Amino acid sequence: MSKISQQNSTPGVNGISVIHTQAHASGLQQVPQLVPAGPGGGGKAVAPSKQSKKSSPMDRNSDEYRQRRERNNMAVKKSRLKSKQKAQDTLQRVNQLKEENERLEAKIKLLTKELSVLKDLFLEHAHNLADNVQPISTENTTRDSDSAGQ
C-alpha cells in the first residue's frame, strides 16, 4: 500500500494561505488547514464575515451613515435612561430597607424593655411567694400527729 499525497497552496486573504491536500490509496480524507502565508508567520486568520464589515470606510455624508448614527444615538439614550432608572430603583429600595430596619430596631428596643419589666415582675412575685411560705418545722408536724392520734 503506497501513500501518495498532493498539496496545493492557494493564496488567501490577510496573509493566510489555505493548503488543500489530496490523499490517494489511503482512503482518508484530509481537512484543509489555515497557515500563515508570509515567512514570518504573523497575523491571524479572519473569518470572511468580519472582513467585509471593515473593508470600506463609510462616507459621513451618506444617508446610510446618518441612519446608523441616528440609530446608535437613540440606542445610547435608551441605554442611559435604563441605567438611570435602575439606579433610581436601587436607591428607592435602599431607602425602603433603611426605614424597615429602623422600625425593626425600635421594635427590638420596645420588646427588650417589655421583657425586662416582665422579668422584674416575675422575680418580685416569686420573692414574695417565698417570703409568705412558712417553713414547715418538724415540731409542728409531730405535735399535730400526736394530738390527732389521741
Q: How confident is the model over 6-43, as pLDDT tens digits?
A: 555 555 555 555 555 555 555 555 555 555 555 555 55
Higher pLDDT: 54 or 106? It is 106
pTM score: 0.43
Residues 33-87 have pLDDT tens digits of 555 555 555 556 655 555 555 546 678 889 999 999 999 999 999 999 999 999 9
Label residue 18 exposed, middle or buried (CB < 10 Å: 0-12, 13-18, 19+): middle
Distance set, CA 111 to CA 108, 125, 149 (Å):
5, 21, 57
